[in-house]
Amino acid sequence: MKVTTQTKLLSPQEVAEQLGVTLNTLAVWRCHGSSSLSYVKIGRCVRYRAEDVEAFINAHRFYHADKPVNVYD
């Protein structure tokens, strides 16, 4: 992972609001590894890269029932 000075880091609160989930849900996902949403730990602080959140959202797009949207089209 290449980190640049322009990498935007989001707080768990910001990510929870963006995804429409609770802070507890994000904590459970981190603890159990039940999500593909990666995060960064700096000391005790948890942060999410904005591009990782966007990729997570794109990976979970559906257009009909269980047919995922091909994000590469």
24-33 pLDDT per residue, tens: 999 999 999 8
Q: Is the pLDDT of residue 73 over 60?
A: no
Q: Is the pLDDT of residue 64 over 60?
A: yes
Q: Which residue has the tokens 């609001």?
A: 17
pTM metric for this prediction:
0.76
Which two tokens mark 52? 């990782």
For residue 27, the surrounding DSSP H or E stretch is helix 23-32
